Chains A and B, each alone.
Chain A
């Protein structure tokens, strides 16, 4: 705790004071036609000064506290393990994943409706994060407007169903492909951009899509959104109490069971599970393919990649397109789950949360990303009482994580490739 620290702490405390005092410590009161200022209650004033003191003390010993935090043990279940060959690793991964999927597909039959709903949301976030992981984690392209592709998927389904009465199963590939197309379209103008510039342009792109949806009232209904988005059907069986479309049967009548609104929720959950699994396996395969390697090569060294004949255009566009494709998937499922969508669901904060999931999980690491998606979606629900402080807690958790474990929950581990010995 040297003089510089002390000065810095004093400065921070001062800033806290001049920011919080006018906002919290002074109240505007209207007296007739004129406005007057009035000091706040003594409790508030004491609160402000306590906050100032806390900031001062924290800043005073920030360095040592952060250093201590950095030294905390970081459990790493993988680092001590001897490296596995590609085959064993894939085998173990498959067993783990298939067990999880099996468990996850049986679980909804014993769980409550609310938790199934939440789990569906988790799966949607897993899809989104796995998709963004391609763009940010593998290709190293910082995309802050990822939510735009999610919106494209969701709105494709909503609009198609509203204007053409299209079903979920038709809209699913269309939404994903359209989102991919938007990914491609975004890719072109940002080909030459990197780092901060890329982040700003993608951020702008995300906002453009949202504002477009918000203002194109005649088509999208603007801020009122679009409702009445149909549920998916199971080979033409509908899950509603009453049939909506001529010629369809309803699920409960077909199987001769009592109507239960949970059926629909479970069905949607299972669809999301299948799609999330599909995303996982597709991305894992891509990572071992030339495309996936070229994404990483471009992230590592663009000049070297080009000198080996990789076209920057092709590589970047494929990353944006494929990443957007999975967001389109997620968007369609989301629209169906909610039954109603509006631009509110696709604000920048969503992009930030998906990005946070990728960073928390460990860039490029699929298991890490899944773990982080679960944590980031479920923890706020568990801490409902603190919902006002959600973003505060979220921010603090992010900062602590970055100090304690900057490489993410489960850093990416490279595949070991067995080479046949040459004689």
Chain B
């Protein structure tokens, strides 16, 4: 469903991403790994429309999307989280999820001002969806807290829930396990697998936690200094000499 062909991104003199290719099939978890500064986040930023790539193509469901504005890409069903959590901190947890559903509630101004029955119905639906996902990530009791007051792990889960209420087709997670303790990482593991199994979204995952990556990925892409180094199943990657030398070896 997603195809990245020879993606390049240049910042001035720095070629941060150099002809990276990537394939994601339906119901698949694909990981991108590589040392810090390898260009992983930059690949995400190109895919999600934050940057216009300097070269290459990105196809989502056979549509070229490189250079499409970010908000349009997310409306296509390609939604991401951030390496550094980005919540609407001074809004409550539910409100964070309601903001994300604005498209489901996209009625005109007046039906909202006078609360037509149709508007109420949609509003109730978004509340139900929010409640469902809060329950799913174990934050239902926190529903009316300010998002900024949540513990770090909870913020991470809220960010994922916030993506899920938009009912995406493809979810991009940028280092979701960073800063989590082992127990939380295990939970996250379960959650990501369940997103694939139960909610039929594909996941592209950037992660440093190798055990997590090896356990849940269907395929792994390794990049090093912006260049693709290897790709394959977890087993292939584990035994790839280049990878061992460049990445696993030094870690």
Which residues of A are in contact with B by a Cβ distance under 8 Å?
83, 282, 285-286, 289-291, 293-294, 296-297, 300-301, 303-312, 414-417, 419-422
Contact = CB atoms under 8 A, between A and B. Distances in A.
Contacts of A419: 94, 127, 130-131, 134, 140, 143
A329 to B, nearest CB: 15
Contacts, number: 115
B207 interface: no
Given A294-B102, A309-B102, A414-B144, A300 B91 contact: yes
Interface stretch (B78-86, B196-204, B240-248): B78-86
A417 B88 contact: no
A421 B106 CA distance: 25
Contact of A309 (B89, B90, B103, B134): B103
A308 B160 CA distance: 12
B119 to A, nearest CB: 9
25 contacts: A83-B144, A286-B112, A289-B112, A290-B105, A290-B112, A293-B91, A293-B99, A294-B102, A296-B88, A296-B91, A296-B95, A296-B99, A300-B88, A308-B162, A309-B75, A309-B102, A309-B166, A310-B71, A311-B69, A417-B92, A417-B94, A419-B130, A419-B140, A420-B127, A421-B140
A301 to B, nearest CB: 5
Interface of B: 48, 50, 69-72, 74-75, 79-80, 82, 86-92, 94-95, 98-100, 102-103, 105-106, 109, 112-113, 127-128, 130-132, 134-135, 140, 143-144, 146, 162-163, 166
A231 B92 CA distance: 46
A297 B94 contact: no
Contacts of B166: 308-309
A73 B86 CA distance: 34
B98 A285 contact: no
B79 A308 contact: yes
Closest 8 CB pairs between A and B?
Answer: A300-B88, A304-B86, A419-B131, A289-B112, A309-B74, A290-B102, A422-B135, A297-B99
Contacts of B131: 419-422
A285 B112 CA distance: 8
Nearest to B105: A290
B146 to A, nearest CB: 7
A147 B112 CA distance: 28
A297 B91 contact: yes
Contacts of B75: 309
Best-surrounded residue of B99, B134, B144 (most CB of chain A within 10 A):
B99
B143 A414 contact: no
B134 A308 contact: no
Contacts of B105: 290
Contacts of A311: 69, 71
A422 B132 contact: yes
Given A306-B70, A311-B69, 5 more contacts: A290-B99, A290-B102, A290-B106, A306-B74, A308-B71
B249 to A, nearest CB: 35
B29 to A, nearest CB: 20
A285 to B, nearest CB: 5
Given A285-B113, A309-B75, A293 B48 contact: no
A291 B103 CA distance: 11
A309 B127 CA distance: 19
B113 A294 contact: no
Given A300-B89, A300-B90, A291 B112 contact: yes
A220 B94 CA distance: 50
Nearest to B75: A309
Contacts of B94: 417, 419
